[in-house]
Amino acid sequence: MKINDVILRTVVKGVVFIILTLGVYLFFSGHNAPGGGFIGGLVLGSGIVLLYITYDLETVHRKMPFDFKKVAGLGVLLATGSAIGAIFFDAPFLSQTDAYFTFPVIGEKHLTTVTIFEAGVALTVIGTLVTIILSISEDE
């Protein structure tokens, strides 16, 4: 039986962008406010899962041809890479640094290496979350 899911599809088209934007916002606000890689990653991941639920696996996979296991792997690599990078500067493992830079258009910005670490965490969370959901739902 085919379920009539017009409402779901229409709503999701709009809502998914809001969810993804919120995820990115949470990710960047994490430096000195509630948020961060883990929570941002969870929100982003749930947005992707919502897409998978609304449209079928093939459609989403055609537009987003990622192997989410590898996304998670890439995340772990980023996070451990930023942690181990400190060793090469003769600082203790996991040391992070930050600095202020001035850019032509957007003005002065605060850049930190923690962002790389957090990006790794976010990618890991997205990868793991989607892999879990897919591995349960795939064989049927």
Partner 1 sequence: MESLIMILIGVLVTVGTYLILSRNLIRVILGTAVLSHAVHLLILTMGGLKKGVVPLLSQSEGPFTDALPQALILTAIVISFATTAFLLVLAYRTYKTNGSDDLQELRGMSDE
Partner 2 sequence: MNNLLVLPLIIPIITAVILVFLREQVILQRIISIVTMVFISIISFLLLNTVQTEGILRLDFSGWLPPFGILFVGDSFSIILVLTASIITSICLLYAFSTIGDRHEKMFFYPFVLFLIAGVNGSFLTGDIFNLFVCFEVMLLASYVLVALGGRKKQLRESLKYVLINVVASWMFLIALAFLYGTVKTLNMAHIAVRVAEAGQDPLLTTVAILFLVVFSLKAGLLLFFWLPGSYSVPPTVVQALFAALLTKVGIYALIRTFTLMFPLNQDVTHTIIGVMAGITLIAGCMGALAGRDIYTIATYNVIIGVGFILIGLAVGTEASLTGAIYYLIHDMLAKALLFLLVGMVFFVSGESIVKKMNGLIQNYPLFGWIYFLVMLALAGIPPLSGFMGKVLIGQGAIETGSYVLLALSFASSIIVLYSLLRIFLASFFGESTISFEDRKPIPKGAYLAFVLLAISIVYVGVGAESIAIYVKDAARTLMNPSIYIDAILKG
Interaction mask 76-95, partner 2, x per CB under 8 A: xx--xx-xx-xx---xxxxx
Interaction mask 94-113, partner 2, x per CB under 8 A: xxx-----------------
Cα(88)–Cα(129) distance, integer angstroms? 33
| DSSP bridge partners of 110 | 100
CA–CA distance from 113 to each of 16, 86, 125 (Å)? 29, 10, 19
Cβ 112 to partner 2 shortest distance, Å: 13
Binding partner at 136 among partner 2, partner 1, none, C-beta below 5 to 8 Å by kind: partner 1
* Chain residues 6-35 in contact with partner 1, contact rule CB under 8 A: 32
Residue 118: closest CA among 28, 18, 17 = 28
Scanning 30-113, the segments in alpha helix (DSSP H) are 37-54, 57-63, 68-88
Write out the residues near partner 2 by the rule CB under 8 A.
69-70, 73, 76-77, 80-81, 83-84, 86-87, 91-96
Write out the residues near partner 1 by the rule CB under 8 A.
32, 38, 128, 132, 135-136
